[in-house]
Amino acid sequence: MTSPAHETVGAEHLRRLLRRWATTVTVVTAAGDGRPFGFTATSFTSVSLRPPVMSFCVDRGSSSWTMLREAEHVAVHVLDAGQADLARTFATRGIDRFAATGWRPGPYGVPLLPRSLAWLVCHVSARIPAGDHVIVLAEPLEAQIGDGSPLLYHDGQYAALA
Protein backbone atom coordinates (compact mmCIF):
# COMPACT_ATOMS: atom_id res chain seq x y z
CA MET A 1 0.00 0.00 0.00
CA THR A 2 1.43 3.36 -0.97
CA SER A 3 1.02 6.56 0.97
CA PRO A 4 -0.87 9.42 -0.65
CA ALA A 5 1.31 12.17 -2.10
CA HIS A 6 1.94 14.98 0.32
CA GLU A 7 3.34 18.45 0.10
CA THR A 8 5.61 20.36 2.41
CA VAL A 9 3.46 22.70 4.46
CA GLY A 10 4.28 26.32 3.72
CA ALA A 11 2.23 29.49 3.96
CA GLU A 12 0.44 28.89 0.63
CA HIS A 13 -0.38 25.26 1.46
CA LEU A 14 -1.72 26.24 4.85
CA ARG A 15 -3.81 29.02 3.27
CA ARG A 16 -5.31 26.49 0.81
CA LEU A 17 -6.13 24.08 3.64
CA LEU A 18 -7.70 26.80 5.81
CA ARG A 19 -9.96 27.92 2.93
CA ARG A 20 -11.69 24.56 3.37
CA TRP A 21 -12.24 25.20 7.08
CA ALA A 22 -15.60 26.82 7.83
CA THR A 23 -15.47 29.16 10.81
CA THR A 24 -17.73 31.56 12.67
CA VAL A 25 -17.20 35.25 11.91
CA THR A 26 -16.67 37.64 14.81
CA VAL A 27 -15.89 41.32 15.20
CA VAL A 28 -13.60 42.28 18.06
CA THR A 29 -13.99 45.83 19.41
CA ALA A 30 -12.26 47.90 22.06
CA ALA A 31 -11.63 51.53 22.92
CA GLY A 32 -8.28 53.26 22.77
CA ASP A 33 -7.04 56.82 22.53
CA GLY A 34 -10.60 58.00 23.20
CA ARG A 35 -12.09 56.29 20.16
CA PRO A 36 -13.51 52.89 19.22
CA PHE A 37 -11.60 50.42 17.07
CA GLY A 38 -12.34 46.93 15.85
CA PHE A 39 -11.63 44.27 13.27
CA THR A 40 -13.15 41.12 11.77
CA ALA A 41 -11.72 37.91 13.21
CA THR A 42 -12.33 34.31 12.18
CA SER A 43 -9.87 32.92 14.74
CA PHE A 44 -12.16 33.16 17.79
CA THR A 45 -12.29 30.00 19.88
CA SER A 46 -12.99 28.67 23.35
CA VAL A 47 -9.83 27.69 25.23
CA SER A 48 -11.17 26.66 28.64
CA LEU A 49 -14.48 26.36 30.45
CA ARG A 50 -12.97 26.25 33.98
CA PRO A 51 -12.06 29.04 34.20
CA PRO A 52 -13.70 30.53 31.09
CA VAL A 53 -11.02 31.65 28.63
CA MET A 54 -11.48 32.61 24.98
CA SER A 55 -8.90 33.43 22.33
CA PHE A 56 -8.56 35.23 19.03
CA CYS A 57 -5.60 36.21 16.90
CA VAL A 58 -4.54 39.55 15.46
CA ASP A 59 -1.93 40.36 12.81
CA ARG A 60 1.04 42.23 14.29
CA GLY A 61 1.15 44.45 11.20
CA SER A 62 -2.43 45.68 11.56
CA SER A 63 -3.55 49.00 12.96
CA SER A 64 -5.85 47.03 15.26
CA TRP A 65 -2.84 45.42 16.94
CA THR A 66 -1.39 48.86 17.64
CA MET A 67 -4.53 49.70 19.64
CA LEU A 68 -5.15 46.21 21.04
CA ARG A 69 -1.65 46.04 22.51
CA GLU A 70 -2.82 48.24 25.41
CA ALA A 71 -6.53 47.38 25.69
CA GLU A 72 -7.64 45.88 29.01
CA HIS A 73 -11.13 44.92 27.80
CA VAL A 74 -12.59 43.82 24.48
CA ALA A 75 -15.97 42.82 23.14
CA VAL A 76 -16.25 39.83 20.83
CA HIS A 77 -19.38 39.90 18.66
CA VAL A 78 -20.55 36.67 17.04
CA LEU A 79 -22.14 37.91 13.82
CA ASP A 80 -25.58 36.85 12.64
CA ALA A 81 -25.96 35.21 9.22
CA GLY A 82 -27.32 38.50 7.83
CA GLN A 83 -24.31 40.59 8.87
CA ALA A 84 -21.86 39.91 6.02
CA ASP A 85 -21.74 43.64 5.19
CA LEU A 86 -20.70 44.41 8.77
CA ALA A 87 -17.97 41.75 8.56
CA ARG A 88 -16.70 43.33 5.31
CA THR A 89 -16.74 46.79 6.89
CA PHE A 90 -14.60 45.68 9.83
CA ALA A 91 -12.23 43.85 7.46
CA THR A 92 -11.65 46.97 5.32
CA ARG A 93 -8.58 49.08 5.96
CA GLY A 94 -8.49 52.86 5.97
CA ILE A 95 -12.15 53.59 6.69
CA ASP A 96 -14.17 54.64 9.73
CA ARG A 97 -15.49 51.18 10.57
CA PHE A 98 -17.94 52.52 13.16
CA ALA A 99 -19.49 55.33 11.05
CA ALA A 100 -22.78 53.63 10.17
CA THR A 101 -22.97 50.83 12.73
CA GLY A 102 -25.17 52.35 15.44
CA TRP A 103 -22.73 51.16 18.12
CA ARG A 104 -23.08 52.08 21.77
CA PRO A 105 -20.66 52.10 24.71
CA GLY A 106 -20.91 48.91 26.74
CA PRO A 107 -19.42 47.64 29.99
CA TYR A 108 -15.85 48.84 30.62
CA GLY A 109 -16.31 51.34 27.77
CA VAL A 110 -16.03 48.77 24.99
CA PRO A 111 -18.06 49.47 21.84
CA LEU A 112 -21.04 47.14 21.37
CA LEU A 113 -22.48 46.54 17.92
CA PRO A 114 -26.23 46.13 17.40
CA ARG A 115 -27.96 42.97 16.18
CA SER A 116 -25.07 40.57 16.84
CA LEU A 117 -26.05 36.96 17.41
CA ALA A 118 -24.11 37.18 20.69
CA TRP A 119 -21.43 39.23 22.37
CA LEU A 120 -18.94 38.72 25.17
CA VAL A 121 -17.20 41.49 27.06
CA CYS A 122 -13.85 40.14 28.19
CA HIS A 123 -10.79 41.09 30.22
CA VAL A 124 -7.58 40.59 28.24
CA SER A 125 -5.44 38.25 30.35
CA ALA A 126 -2.51 37.47 28.03
CA ARG A 127 -0.95 38.27 24.69
CA ILE A 128 1.21 35.52 23.20
CA PRO A 129 3.43 36.22 20.17
CA ALA A 130 2.95 33.55 17.48
CA GLY A 131 4.72 34.19 14.18
CA ASP A 132 3.25 37.21 12.41
CA HIS A 133 0.24 37.21 14.76
CA VAL A 134 -0.47 37.56 18.47
CA ILE A 135 -2.80 35.19 20.28
CA VAL A 136 -4.98 37.14 22.69
CA LEU A 137 -6.40 35.28 25.68
CA ALA A 138 -9.48 36.86 27.22
CA GLU A 139 -11.71 36.03 30.18
CA PRO A 140 -15.45 36.62 29.64
CA LEU A 141 -17.06 38.99 32.17
CA GLU A 142 -20.48 39.71 30.64
CA ALA A 143 -22.45 38.22 27.76
CA GLN A 144 -25.60 38.55 25.73
CA ILE A 145 -26.87 35.67 23.61
CA GLY A 146 -29.63 35.89 21.02
CA ASP A 147 -31.36 33.52 18.63
CA GLY A 148 -30.47 32.91 15.03
CA SER A 149 -27.77 31.42 12.85
CA PRO A 150 -24.13 32.50 12.75
CA LEU A 151 -22.32 34.06 9.83
CA LEU A 152 -19.68 31.65 8.55
CA TYR A 153 -16.54 32.13 6.47
CA HIS A 154 -15.62 29.36 4.04
CA ASP A 155 -13.59 29.19 0.84
CA GLY A 156 -12.95 32.94 0.80
CA GLN A 157 -16.56 34.02 1.18
CA TYR A 158 -19.27 34.57 3.76
CA ALA A 159 -21.94 31.88 4.07
CA ALA A 160 -24.81 30.81 6.30
CA LEU A 161 -26.09 27.46 7.48
CA ALA A 162 -28.74 26.01 5.15
C-alpha span between 106 and 142 (Å, rounded): 10
Range of the domain at 151: 11-157
Q: Is the pTM of this model over 0.85?
A: yes
* Per-residue pLDDT tens over the stretch 60-115: 999 889 889 999 999 999 999 999 999 999 999 989 999 989 999 999 999 999 99
- State the Rg of the chain over Cα: 17
C-alpha span between 21 and 45 (Å, rounded): 14
Is there a domain that residue 63 lies in?
yes
Is there a domain that residue 105 lies in?
yes
Sheet holding 73-78, edge to edge: 35-41, 26-32, 73-78, 118-130, 133-145, 52-59, 45-49
Is there a domain that residue 52 lies in?
yes
Number of domains in the chain: 1
| CATH code (residue 84) | 2.30.110.10
